[in-house]
Amino acid sequence: MLPKAGQNLLLNNRLWTIRQVHPLAGRKLEFEVLGASPASLGMTRRMKAVRYGDDLFIEQRRQSYWYGHLQQDWLNHELGPALACRQANWLDLLAVHTRHPASGNLKNEFSWSYSRAATYQKCPRAYYYHYYAAWEGWQTNAPAPVKRAYLLKNLTSLPRWVGDLVHETIKYALIRLKDGQPVADNHLVKHMHTRAQADFADSRSGRYRQKPNQLTGFQEHYYQLNLSPAAWQTAWTDAEHYLRTFINSTLYADLCRQPVDTLLEIEALQFFTVARTKMWVQMDLAQHQGNTFYIYDWKTGPIEESDLRQQLGIYGLYARHAWPETITNASLRGIVYALAEDRVYEFELTDTTLHETRLMVETSLNNLRDLLLDPQANLAELRRFPMIDDLRVCQTCQFRELCGRDKPW
């Protein structure tokens, strides 16, 4: 039962009598209260609150709340019923947030992707923040901890940004190639430079905080790491080097010579279904040439060959789904271009590889689904996603503020 006018809130041993309750947008509401304890007698306050079913969080100050359970935490006071609230923090609110279905029209549907599984492998808690706590953080009336999880989820880092910048520029080059309007090499570098400058300005000015999923925000800026101009210059130099490696390669020259209709798909976000679960994929390039179907992947970071086979195997499963007739009559090859090494890894994606990949995917998605509080509704419980012990990983994790690991150690 939501406290109403005439009832009381007991916060930090101070009693506040409710004069009015104002519903606000979404899960929010506001209490207009009058102090009834000696220390607050006669004082008036407006207290914002967030309600999830029977869980009520009253905002106190930065990063803390008062929490009361609307069925269990009532006591009788001489001035009338009082909801006795205890202190709570952002994680307490996130723990409740992820136990409740979304409030908007967009449901948080369970799905699987290679990067999702990799996030869990790296840290279960980071996985929880990314795929559950941040959900609906884009809403203007979302609770502050949810908004913060969403902001952190969208931060990038210098090395990741270099990879994204190069991928985006190669994508632009290939799309223009497919459209029959190839772009000159120097124009590609200029294009990337313009984007890099815009990203840097959006991040340094803090504009990304208004549109975290549209504008680039660096965790180096968010966490106020004093990176030298030389570090940024090195990042740019690396990006330009990777791009020039690509555009000067025989691989790109070959792509430029092929009929444009052999380029089937360029970095498009797609999904298909495995074991009744949506799988997200984004291939850098799919190409069909003669009797061979090629799946390309550009890498700017370190390479693990066994990971490559799995990742490309997933793309192979998607290709089979998207182009069944073409794949039946073609051999399927994965090509990974490691731009930092200027080295091409090429391997065949055989039926055995795809079968093993499918088994790996099914095992992984079943494991991830088994962790849920309610697999059907895709609801998660914080305590099932522990933090890791390796603080070196935490040092570069975008979520370290939520774990209290953002201070030097």
Whole-number Å distance between alpha carbons of 309 and 357: 9
153 binds ligand SF4 (CB under 6 A): no
Residue with tokens 């099914």: 362
**Least distance (Å) from ligand SF4 to the CB of residue 149?**
10
User: Strand 285-289's sheet: what is its strand order?
Assistant: 263-265, 285-289, 292-299, 331-338, 343-348
**Least distance (Å) from ligand SF4 to the CB of residue 117?**
16
From candidates 48, 193, 241, 405, binder to ligand SF4 by CB under 6 A? 405
Whole-number Å distance between alpha carbons of 340 and 332: 25
**Least distance (Å) from ligand SF4 to the CB of residue 398?**
8
183 binds ligand SF4 (CB under 6 A): no
**Least distance (Å) from ligand SF4 to the CB of residue 217?**
17
Residue type, 119: T
Exposure b/e, 341-364, CB count within 10 A at least 16 = b: eeeebeeebeeebbeebbeebeeb
Whole-number Å distance between alpha carbons of 355 and 142: 43
Of the pair 263, 382, the CB lying nearest ligand SF4 is at 382
Segment lying near ligand SF4 (by CB under 6 A), choices 53-61, 155-163, 239-247, 399-407: 399-407
Of the pair 158, 388, the CB lying nearest ligand SF4 is at 388
User: Measuring CA to CA, which residue among 291, 321, 368 is closest to residue 128?
Assistant: 368
Q: Determine if residue 6 is left, alpha or beta; phi over 0 gives left, psi from -120 to 50 gives alpha, anything else beta.
A: left
**Least distance (Å) from ligand SF4 to the CB of residue 30?**
32
Could you report how far apart the first and last alpha carbons of the chain are, in Å? 45
387 binds ligand SF4 (CB under 6 A): yes
Of the pair 360, 393, the CB lying nearest ligand SF4 is at 393
User: Measuring CA to CA, which residue among 375, 379, 371, 386 is closest to residue 53?
Assistant: 379
From candidates 20, 301, 399, 407, binder to ligand SF4 by CB under 6 A? 399
Whole-number Å distance between alpha carbons of 229 and 389: 32
Binding mask 99-138 for ligand SF4 (x = CB under 6 A): ------------------------x-xx------------
Of the pair 97, 125, the CB lying nearest ligand SF4 is at 125
Of the pair 330, 388, the CB lying nearest ligand SF4 is at 388
**What does the block give as tokens for 351?**
């039926």
91 binds ligand SF4 (CB under 6 A): no
Q: How many residues of this chain interact with ligand SF4, rule: CB under 6 A?
A: 12
Q: Which residues bind ligand SF4 (CB under 6 A)?
A: 123, 125-126, 387-388, 393-394, 397, 399-400, 403, 405
